[in-house]
C-alpha cells in the first residue's frame, strides 16, 4: 500500500511540473526528487494542515539527507518554525505551489557548517515575524556548494538570506517585502548572485561584505532590483541596491536598478571592483560609487537616468585611487541629495573623480551643476578627461585649481550649452575662474587644456 501511495504522489508531482514550474531547472529538480528521492508525506508531513509541521519536516529533512536523496515537498502550505539543514540537504518543491509559512524563530532554514545544500521551487513566507540581528529567513554559515534557486522569499521580518563564509549560487529567486536586506553575504568563498528579482526592501538590496579588506570575487549579475528604502536612515549605509564593502574583485554587471533612496551600486573600500553594463534610473544620491580605501575601479558602459551624481570616484585622502570611467550615458541629474547627507554636499554632477583616473567616451546631459568635476581642493592627481560629450550643464568641466592640486589633461571633448563655461577652475566645488577654454584665459601650470570643441 505504501509503495503504491508513493508512486501515486510521484506521478502527481511530475504531472504538476509542466503546469507550475517556472523554469527548466525547477522542473528538472522536481522530477528528480519525485523519481529518485523521498516524499515528505512519508514522514507524516501534511500539506495544508493548520498544525505546525516543524517536527515532521525536520525528521524528513534529516532522513533524506542521511540517505543522500532529495526530499520532495508536494504542493500545499506547510506551517513551520526553524528547520536545520544538515550537509546534503536537497529540498525541492513546485515553484508557486509549495509554500512554507513561518511560525517564528531565529530563521526558517539554518545551516551551520553544512555543505552541498540545495533549496529550489519553494515559497518562503516569513509572516513578518521579527528576526534577530545578523539573521535571515535563510541562514547559512560556513558551507560550500550552497544553491538557493527558483525560490520566492517574502514578508521577512529581517533579512531574506544571510550567509557567511559560503560558496555557492543564489539565482533566479523572487524576493519582496523584506524588512532588512534581501541578500547579505559576509566573507564569501566563491559566490554567484544572479537573475534574482528584488523589490521592496527596507535596508539594502544586495550586500557583499567582508569583515576585513580582502579578496572576495563575488559575481552580481543580471538582477532586477527596485524600490529600495533607507528605512533606518543614515547617510548612505542604507537605501542602496548593491553595496560592496571591503570586498575586492567584485563584479557588478548587467543589473536593472530603479528607485533607490541612495545609490544603485556603492563600492566602499572595494578594490578592483567592476561596475559595467548596468541600467539605472531614479536613484537619489550617487548612482555609481567607488569610495574610501580602494585601488582600482572600472565603471563602464552603464546608463544613468536620474541621480544626484552619476559617478563618483573619491576619497583620495583615504587612499582611493586608480579608476577608468568610460562609455557611460548619464542624464537628467537632480540638484539635491537626500536628507541625511551633509546639507551643503554637492549634487547635480555627472562624473566626479580625484586621482589616477581616466574619464573617456562618456555622454552627459542635463546636469544642473557640472558635467565632470576633477578634484577636491588639493586632492587631485593625474586625471585625463578626454573624448567626452557634455550637453546642457551649468558648467562643462570643473577642475580644482587650489594650491597643491595635481595635473589634469582636458582634451578633445565636445562641450555645448554650458552657460557658466566649458572648463572652469574651482576651489572645493566653488567656481573661481572664467572659462579656461576661451582664448586668452588664465593658465595654470598643472592644467593641460586643448582640442576641445565648445559651442556656447
Higher pLDDT, 448 or 340: 448
Segment among 22-31, 88-97, 239-248, 446-455 with least mean pLDDT: 22-31
Q: Which helix (H) or strand (E) holds 11?
A: helix 2-20
| 140 has pLDDT over 60 | yes
Q: Is 308 helix (H, G, I), strand (E, B) or coil?
A: coil
Is residue 444 assigned to a domain?
no
75-128: pLDDT as tens digits: 999 999 999 999 999 999 999 999 999 999 999 999 999 999 999 999 999 999
Higher pLDDT, 27 or 373: 373
173-214: pLDDT as tens digits: 999 999 999 999 999 999 999 999 999 999 999 999 999 999
- φ, ψ of residue 57 to 5 degrees: the values are -65, -40
C-alpha torsion sign, points 29, 32, 33, 37? negative
Domain with 12, as residue range(s), is: 1-179
Residue 137 — very low, low, confident or very high, per pLDDT cuts 50/70/90? very high
Q: Is 443 helix (H, G, I), strand (E, B) or coil?
A: coil
- Count of the separate structural domains present in the chain: 1
| 31 has pLDDT over 90 | no
| 28 has pLDDT over 80 | no
Is residue 161 assigned to a domain?
yes
Burial of 4 (0-12, 13-18, 19+ CB in 10 A): exposed
| 9 has pLDDT over 90 | no
In this structure, what DSSP letter does residue 148 have? E
Task: Please report the pLDDT score of residue 456 as a whole number.
Answer: 80
Is residue 145 assigned to a domain?
yes
User: The pTM is what?
Assistant: 0.92
Query: d(Cα 151, Cα 26) in Å, to the nearest integer?
Result: 9
Is residue 410 assigned to a domain?
no
| CATH number for the domain harbouring residue 70 | 2.160.20.10
Is residue 208 assigned to a domain?
no
Is residue 378 assigned to a domain?
no
223-254: pLDDT as tens digits: 999 999 999 998 899 999 999 999 999 999 99
- Sequence-distant (6+) residues with CB within 8 A of 231 are 179, 202, 203, 238
Is residue 10 assigned to a domain?
yes
Is residue 35 assigned to a domain?
yes
30 with 72: CB under 8 angstroms? yes
Average pLDDT in the chain: 92
C-alpha torsion sign, points 297, 337, 241, 253? negative
270-283: pLDDT as tens digits: 999 999 999 999 99
Provide the 10 A C-beta neighbour count for residue 412: 14
255-267: pLDDT as tens digits: 999 999 999 999 9
Amino acid at each position: 500500500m505504501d509503495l503504491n501511495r508513493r508512486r501515486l504522489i510521484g506521478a502527481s508531482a511530475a504531472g504538476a511540473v509542466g503546469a507550475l514550474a517556472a523554469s527548466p531547472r525547477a522542473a528538472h529538480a522536481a522530477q528528480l526528487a519525485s523519481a529518485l528521492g523521498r516524499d515528505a508525506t512519508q514522514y507524516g508531513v501534511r500539506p495544508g494542515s493548520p498544525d505546525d509541521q516543524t517536527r515532521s519536516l525536520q525528521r524528513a529533512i534529516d532522513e533524506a539527507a542521511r540517505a543522500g536523496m532529495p526530499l520532495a515537498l508536494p504542493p500545499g502550505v506547510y506551517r513551520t518554525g526553524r528547520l536545520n539543514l544538515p550537509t546534503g540537504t536537497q529540498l525541492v518543491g513546485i515553484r508557486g505551489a509549495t509554500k512554507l509559512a513561518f511560525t517564528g524563530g531565529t530563521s526558517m532554514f539554518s545551516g551551520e557548517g553544512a555543505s552541498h545544500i540545495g533549496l529550489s521551487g519553494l515559497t518562503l513566507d516569513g509572516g513578518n515575524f521579527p528576526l534577530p540581528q545578523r539573521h535571515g529567513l535563510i541562514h547559512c554559515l560556513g558551507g560550500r556548494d550552497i544553491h538557493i534557486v527558483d525560490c520566492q522569499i517574502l514578508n521577512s521580518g529581517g533579512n531574506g538570506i544571510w550567509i557567511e563564509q559560503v560558496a555557492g549560487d543564489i539565482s533566479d529567486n523572487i524576493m519582496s517585502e523584506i524588512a532588512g536586506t534581501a541578500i547579505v553575504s559576509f566573507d564569501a568563498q566563491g559566490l554567484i548572485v544572479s537573475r534574482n528579482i528584488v523589490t521592496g526592501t527596507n535596508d539594502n538590496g544586495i550586500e557583499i561584505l567582508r569583515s576585513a579588506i580582502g579578496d572576495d570575487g563575488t559575481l552580481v549579475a543580471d538582477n532586477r532590483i527596485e524600490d529600495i528604502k533607507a528605512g533606518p536612515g543614515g547617510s548612505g549605509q542604507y537605501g542602496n541596491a548593491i553595496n560592496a564593502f571591503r570586498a575586492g574583485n567584485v563584479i557588478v554587471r548587467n543589473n536593472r536598478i530603479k528607485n533607490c533612496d541612495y545609490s544603485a551600486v556603492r563600492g566602499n573600500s572595494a578594490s578592483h571592483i567592476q561596475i559595467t553594463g548596468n541600467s539605472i534610473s531614479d536613484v537619489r544620491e550617487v548612482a555609481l560609487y567607488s569610495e574610501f580605501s580602494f585601488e582600482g575601479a572600472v565603471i563602464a558602459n552603464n546608463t544613468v537616468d536620474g541621480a544626484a551624481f552619476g559617478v563618483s570616484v573619491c576619497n583620495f585622502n583615504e587612499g582611493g585611487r586608480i579608476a577608468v570611467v568610460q562609455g557611460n550615458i548619464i542624464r537628467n541629474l537632480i540638484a539635491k541629495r537626500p536628507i541625511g547627507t551633509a546639507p551643503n554636499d554637492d549634487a547635480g554632477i555627472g562624473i566626479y573623480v580625484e586621482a589616477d583616473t581616466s574619464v573617456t567616451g562618456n555622454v552627459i546631459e542635463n546636469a544642473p551643476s557640472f558635467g565632470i568635476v576633477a578634484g577636491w581642493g588639493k586632492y587631485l592627481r593625474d586625471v585625463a578627461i578626454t573624448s567626452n560629450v557634455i550637453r546642457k550643464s551649468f558648467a562643462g568641466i570643473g577642475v580644482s585649481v587650489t594650491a597643491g592640486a595635481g595635473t589634469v589633461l582636458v582634451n578633445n571633448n565636445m562641450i555645448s550649452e554650458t552657460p557658466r563655461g566649458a572648463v572652469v577652475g574651482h576651489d572645493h566645488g566653488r567656481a573661481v575662474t572664467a572659462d579656461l577654454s576661451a582664448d586668452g584665459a588664465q593658465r595654470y601650470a598643472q592644467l593641460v587644456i586643448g582640442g576641445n570643441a565648445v559651442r556656447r
